[in-house]
Every structure is written in C-alpha cells, then in structure tokens.
Structure 1
C-alpha cells in the first residue's frame, strides 16, 4: 500500500513539475495583488497578465497550487488522471482524509486492473488450448479414416439366361391352316427348298460299260 501511494504521489509531483517547467525563470511567483482562494479565481487573475508568456506561467502556477475545480452546484471536484476518475472534495485541495480515500481507490483500481488482465490472459490461454485440442482431434480422425480401408460395394454381374428355343410342332393332317402362320407356310417352303436343291445338284454320271 505504501509503495503504491508513494509511486502515485511521485507521478503527481512529476506532472505538477511539468507545468512549472513551462514558466520562465524571470517570472514572479506572486504576480497577484491578493492571494486567490481557488483555481478559478487564480485563472481569472492570470488572464490579466501583461503578455502571453506571463499568462502561461501564471496558469501553470495556478494548476500547481490548486488541484480541485469548482462544481456548478457548490463544492469542488478532483480529477485523478492515474485512474481516470473524479472525486468530490470539500475545498480547492484534498484534505489528508480525502487524499487517503483517493489513494485507497487507486490501490483498488490497480488490483482490479491486474485481475482483469489475468482473467483476459486466462481466457486467451483457454481458447488456444481448446483450438489445439480440436486440431489434434481432427488430425486423429483423419488418420483413423485413412488407416481403415472402406470396402467398395460390388456391382452384381447380370447372369445371362439361356435362350429357350421354341420348337415348332408340325401341323396335324386335316387341321385348318391359318394363312400367313409359320405352321401353314412351312410345308410349302420345305418343298420349294427341296426342288431348288435338286436343281442345283448335278446328277451322278453312270459308269461306262466294259466291252
């Protein structure tokens, strides 16, 4: 707690010194006729400075002397830039009790910031672990699929059935003949074929008689 408060007050001193460095060495610290009671009264008097250089120096001196700013409804407020927060104070500068409350708030602010950073880091780490696990599962699944060969479904080969030759039974004698049917025309075609066969087949020659 003491280290945090000490570092905080050192930062505030450095910030205040930055404003004082803007003042030239020849500027007078007591440039007003009557000591102002707060920053606003001090700034109003600084506006009446003789030139721009003295005006800038006077405003820097006002900012270093008074930390609080007037509130429209009365009282003062103090802005702590280290924790980006405004505190209500009774006068133009924080009292020791008010300063203690501001320092304790800054300590809590640092603790909350640390917890938020740790939570963010833990969430990011968990997300990376989940992504790595998902990647490993995908690799293992792909490896298992490649290792196990999937049987190819066989296409059944059609079996050719033997053709059944239909036998033609001869037409019974005396049965009526249907014109154009095979059983009616076959006897006539058979006789024509026999005649053609005899026509183109030469008759065997007779052997010559011996004397």
Structure 2
C-alpha cells in the first residue's frame, strides 16, 4: 500500500470517532430528561415545561392520574379523600395497600356516621312537625271555645204570676194587686147587700 494513500484513511479514524461521540451525547442527555418522575410535584414541574398550553394540561392530568399523594412540608406525603373530605398521612407518593385499606375502613365508618346523623335529623324534623300540628289543633280549640262564648244565650221569658182565681194554692206576693183584688171584691159585695137588701118574696095565699 502506498504511504500517500494510507495517510488520509488513517486521519479519518479520529474524526469518525469524534462524530460518533457527539452524536451519542445528545442521546444520553435525552435519556436523562426522560427519567420517570418520582412524585406529583416532580411530574408537575416537568409538565410546566411543555411547549403548548394543551400539552401542559394533558401532562398535568397524567400527573394527577399517576400520583395520589402530595408532598408535606415536613417530609412524607398526604392523601386527600374527597369522599370523606379528609386528609390521610401516607409514606410515599401513592397509598400502599395497607394504607388504602385504612382509608377504606375510615370511609365505611364515615358512611355509618352520616347515616346516623341523617336518621337523627329526620327524627328531629318529624317531632317538630308533630309539635307544630299539636299546637295548631290546640289553637283551633281555643278559637272555637272563644267563638262559642261570644254567642249570646237566649234569655228565658219571665213567667207571669197567675192570680188566685186562675191557680189555686199558688203563692201570691204580699201587697200584689192580683192577690188583693179578690178580697176587695168580696168586701164590696157584702157592702152592697147591706145597703141594697134583696126584695122580700110575697107571701103565698092560702
């Protein structure tokens, strides 16, 4: 082989190696950026770098679907159960099976408590309605008695005292004209007999 021809081929080897290295470096960097996020906060930070608003919204939705927990300021994570409106402490970015079982047990107790509260509220409302109905009936009875009391009672007509001649043995008030008149009439008849004696009958002829 001629030395003149061999030299350019040998010089190309370092250039080729350098090109391959440059091509490999961006690929390595891309692999580092594609590392899966460990929790919601890291996932959300990556979503903020999305090129468009639509991509950002989609990426945040994926973060919510992947991670249920949220970082706590003092360390660890918390899980918010909107069904119970309550927050639970969890060790990692997602509840473990044991932690999920604890959350489900708490939800069962929450439902039982809500049912008891609803039953107590319904009983109290029913008792209040019954008391209101009883008071309404009592008020109606009072109003009815008041109306009856306002109606005037018919006055009985006074009994006319009967005279002695009309009813024998009936009590007669003293100095009453109806009682004194019969006696006065008898006295007047006696006086008339004294002053006007009846004519004597003629004697019968034998």
Identify the TM-score tier after normalising by the shorter chain: 0.5 to 0.7
CA distance in 2, matches of 1:146, 1:127: 29
Corresponding position: 1:108 with 2:109: yes
CA distance in 1, matches of 2:139, 2:64: 63
Residue 87 of structure 1 aligns to a residue whose secondary structure is strand
Q: Deviations over 1:14-35 (max 9, x none)?
A: xxxxxxxxxxxxxxxxxx6101
Q: Which residue of 1 aligns with 2:142?
A: 141
Q: Deviations over 1:161-195 (max 9, x none)?
A: xxxxxxxxxxxxxxxxxxxxxxxxxxxxxxxxxxx
Deviation at 1:147, TM superposition (A): 3.1
Residue 136 of structure 1 aligns to a residue whose secondary structure is helix
When normalised by structure 1's length, the TM-score is 0.53
CA distance in 1, matches of 2:143, 2:40: 73
Question: How many residue pairs were aligned?
Answer: 121
Deviation at 1:141, TM superposition (A): 2.1
CA distance in 2, matches of 1:147, 1:56: 78
Q: Deviations over 1:101-156 (max 9, x none)?
A: 1111111111111111111111111111101101111111222333346989xxxx
Q: Which residue of 2 aligns with 1:120?
A: 121
Deviation at 1:72, TM superposition (A): 0.1
CA distance in 1, matches of 2:46, 2:142: 79
CA distance in 2, matches of 1:111, 1:92: 29
CA distance in 1, matches of 2:53, 2:142: 76
CA distance in 2, matches of 1:125, 1:43: 51
When normalised by structure 2's length, the TM-score is 0.55
Corresponding position: 1:75 with 2:76: yes
CA distance in 1, matches of 2:62, 2:132: 57
Unaligned ranges ≥5, structure 2: 1-32, 154-206
CA distance in 2, matches of 1:49, 1:144: 83
CA distance in 1, matches of 2:151, 2:60: 85
Higher relative contact order (CA 8 A, sep 6+): 1
Corresponding position: 1:93 with 2:94: yes
Q: Which has the larger radius of gyration?
A: 2
Q: How does 1:157-176 map to 2 (within 5 A)?
A: none
- Which structure has greater helix proportion? 2
Unaligned ranges ≥5, structure 1: 1-31, 153-211
Q: Runs (4+) of structure 1 moved beyond 4 Å?
A: 148-152
Residue 50 of structure 2 aligns to a residue whose secondary structure is coil
Residue 136 of structure 2 aligns to a residue whose secondary structure is helix
Report the CA distance shift for 1:149/1:42 in structure 2 as closer, same or farther (over 3 A): closer
CA distance in 1, matches of 2:150, 2:125: 39
CA distance in 2, matches of 1:92, 1:122: 44
